[in-house]
Chain A
Amino acid sequence: MTQRRVQNMEVTTCLDAHSSKDSYVFKIVLLGSSSVGKSSLAYRYVKKDFRDSLPTVGCSFFTQTLRLDNSTIKLEIWDTAGQEKYHSVCHLYYRGANAAILVYDITKKESLEKAKVWLRELEKEFLQDEIIIVLVGNKVDLSPEREVTLQEAEDFANTKSMLYMETSAKTNHQVTELFTALAHELLKQRQQKEKSLHATHRKKSSIDLQESTFNSIKCCQK
């Protein structure tokens, strides 16, 4: 299963590299328990606005295009429902994702615990270098009611080699920064992969050729 996915990714990378050198599509999925602000983050980032929202049904899909370092990046943002009844379908949404944003509410300790559960889910589904995970503590505008300290979350994020950020969708604190930073990271990773892929590709193909000719010669000789 995992292997197939890796292969798929290679294929798309190759295509990207061949067709349009500097345009990329990345799939980002927002995960976390209900009412931590996943939809609000997406809404703030895409529509530059905030409003109280009702629980998401299933999944809400947004796209946002941005330019970074002469590359055009299209972010496909999948904003999932936090309600438990949708948990069993979430794999539908996070499959093939390039990045995951694990959102918790800094005023609710248990939402961080839930984020940890989501992390375990992702670890089952993805290899370490397949996905970039960002832990996001949302609702910093409510910091007087804070239950999760910056230190605690940061430590946790470090141990799991996740990126970490605190945001407020309501006051527009660090929201665009979050997505831009993530896009940067994704771009960096993709370009590195491309490089190494090209390198191995060239090396491998030449070896392959030699090998096959070698083999065929052998065959003929036999």
Chain B
Amino acid sequence: MEPEDPGVPAEGGMDAPEQEAGLDSTEMRTDEPNSVLDEQRESSPIPNNGPLGTEDGKADVQEELSETHEEISDKDLSDSASTDNTLEDSSEFSRPMVMADGSPGQEPVATQPRPITHRDEDVMAESWREHRKHVFVLSEAGKPIYSRYGNEEALSSTMGVMMALVSFIQSGDNSIRSIYSDDRKLVFVQQGPLVLVSVSQTLQTEQQLRQELLYVYHQIISMLTQASITRIFERKKNYDLRRLLTGSEKILDRLLNLVESDPCFLLSAVRCLPLPASLRDSLGSLLQKAITPNLVFSILVAQSQLVTTVQEKAVIEDCRLEPTDLHLLLNLIGATSAFQTGEIWTPICLPRFNPDCYFYAYISYLDADCTVCLILLSTDKESFYSVSDCKKRIEEGMRTQNYLQALSSGLKNPSYSVGLVGVPDLRHFMYKPLDIPDNYRQLPQFTSPELEGPYCSEHERHRLFDLYHYLHGRIHSASRPLRLIYHVAEKETLLAWVTSKFELYTCFSPLVTKAGAINVLTKLLRWIKKEEDRLFIRYPPKYSTTPNPGKGGKGARTDGAENGFFGGL
């Protein structure tokens, strides 16, 4: 699938052996919370003479003062920023109402009914402890970077304890992976200089929680790149990364809400907007025509669902767009209302494609309601005007052919009702085909009807996804994977089935029998087969922008690598 993708060190590369080692020996499973406390008490002094030590800090300041002069221009800004850094942060935090209000056009699931932002929460309160899932990000020096709930500042001692646990295990040449208590799982992921911790009461497996933490890590990378984060912390161990992430908390918050409620993250697949194949093809060829040198991906999205995507030929030969990258990109777009005003031109990293370099993303909405969004990714930072011109051509083409109208009629019902399948016992399903032609070059896709019936409230939706997570965990269990599970839950019956051709999760009413469920499955599979041209992108369009074949995908990527321009930080 990704044999020659150099941009995927996150999972496949260096960390894998370490994690495996951890699996064998250091898994801190415990049933008694007391022993956890003991661990904490034992190891808490460690950070004081370790990375948190003040001597280190002083040395680093000096180091920073004697920076090389080519970075002076950036330094100037950073230095001045550091003086008012706290003020700026606090202002960011004290503006929650504004930030929470201005987020139209998001999935309804993403917003929670709490009126004030999570950052104002009292971290000593019982309600804070009772959150279903906490996520923390900290630096190796134990500095807080992000907390899903509550202000990181107030949590610095908690994060200190987390770092103590990490470094305590590390001092024994090992790495901590997880701690199990009666009702919570604590999962640790270390990625370069960042430590990510999930504290969860959900039914998710350790592997799934780890995956979520990696999404968070990759989202941070998508804004800063791995190379610049590494460089920053090499230079200054106790750097406060929040300085660079100011204003981005919202993006991470949104991501964590989506991860819990949108199956695309669980399935690592993209949801396509159901469309007649002919319309999708015409839109694809429209994108294909509007190209310019160094443009590598053209992506058309409607309400966070993929309409079509076109890739530069030379690029897909050795690489493809990863669903993770697209999810993170769409999350970033969804979390920024500014995208709905002008044409956006921004550096962005696709962490799974290449975690160390930037693409330049051109983002613009094509309709007044800001539902149809065009994303053009270029490797040339100077190409704004030529890429913007591509958009004009696409816009013009869509107008003359009336595609926009055709699209928006498809958008009136952005998803479809499970009733279309025509079997009464079926409440919901998620289907991910594994036999798409040209599969290894394609974005993995899935389809799923909208949630109806009993799953209207957030609580019920969480319950259903908990069950899906549970089934997914069993199917993909490392030690004992299953192919078929028939699971009778309290309020519904679920069936999960994996073959070489598809991965399918279904939810039935509780009264269904095993034979009845199998019967429904047959009907469902027949329906999907009939609809597959509408539900999925079957044959992705390709093109070649390169008149001179010498400059292929590889060349394009080297270009990108040279643009690692957060150098001054």
Contacts and interface: CB of A to CB of B under 8 A. Distances in A.
A47 B340 CA distance: 11
Contacts of A34: 88, 92, 246-247
Nearest to B80: A117
Contacts of B223: 85
Contacts of B332: 57
Interface string A94-130: 0000000000000010100110011011001000000
Interface of A: 33-35, 39, 42-43, 46-47, 51-62, 77, 79, 81-89, 91-93, 108, 110, 113-114, 117-118, 120-121, 124
Contacts of A43: 341
B338 A53 contact: yes
A114 B80 contact: yes
10 contacts: A52-B99, A54-B250, A54-B338, A55-B247, A55-B248, A58-B348, A60-B339, A60-B343, A79-B338, A84-B246
B265 interface: no
A108 B102 CA distance: 22
B78 A87 contact: yes
A55 B103 CA distance: 11
Contacts of B347: 58, 86, 89
A183 to B, nearest CB: 18
Given A35-B91, A53-B341, 20 more contacts: A39-B341, A52-B98, A53-B337, A54-B250, A54-B335, A55-B248, A56-B338, A57-B338, A58-B347, A60-B344, A79-B338, A84-B243, A84-B244, A85-B248, A88-B567, A88-B569, A89-B566, A110-B88, A121-B76, A124-B73
B118 interface: no
Contact of B342 (A42, A84, A113): A42
A81 B346 CA distance: 10
Given A43-B341, A89-B565, A35 B76 contact: no
A14 B152 CA distance: 56
A86 to B, nearest CB: 8
A78 to B, nearest CB: 8
Nearest to B79: A117
Contacts of A121: 73, 76-77
B246 to A, nearest CB: 6
Nearest to B81: A84
B388 interface: yes
Contact of A39 (B248, B338, B388): B338
Contacts of B568: 88
B76 A120 contact: yes
Interface string B375-389: 000000100100010
Given A34-B247, A87-B78, A114-B81, A54 B88 contact: no
Nearest to A82: B247
A77 B341 CA distance: 12
B245 interface: yes
Name, among A81, A82, A92, A120, the residue most crowded by chain B CB atoms within 10 Å (CB to CB).
A92
B391 to A, nearest CB: 11
Given A57-B346, A61-B345, A85 B245 contact: yes
A61 B346 contact: no
Nearest to B82: A84
Contact of A60 (B74, B76, B83, B338): B338
Q: Closest 10 CB pairs between A and B?
A: A58-B346, A55-B247, A110-B84, A60-B342, A52-B102, A85-B244, A56-B338, A61-B343, A62-B342, A52-B98
Contacts of B384: 61
A82 B341 CA distance: 16
A124 B73 CA distance: 9
B381 A92 contact: yes
A54 B253 CA distance: 13
Contact of B76 (A39, A89, A91, A117): A117
Contacts of A113: 80, 83-84
A42 B99 contact: no
A93 B346 CA distance: 10
Contacts of A82: 247
Contacts of A33: 81, 88
A52 B95 CA distance: 11
B91 A79 contact: no
A59 to B, nearest CB: 5
A109 to B, nearest CB: 9
Given A53-B337, A84-B78, A84-B81, A59 B344 contact: yes
Interface string B222-237: 0110000000000000
Contacts of B337: 51, 53-54
Contacts of A124: 73
A58 B247 contact: no
Nearest to A56: B338
A113 B80 CA distance: 8
Name, among A52, A82, A93, the residue most crowded by chain B CB atoms within 10 Å (CB to CB).
A52
A56 B336 contact: yes
Contacts of B361: 58
B169 to A, nearest CB: 31
Contacts of A61: 342-345, 384, 388
B87 interface: yes
Given A57-B332, A61-B384, A87 B247 contact: no
Name, among B247, B384, B565, the residue most crowded by chain A CB atoms within 10 Å (CB to CB).
B247
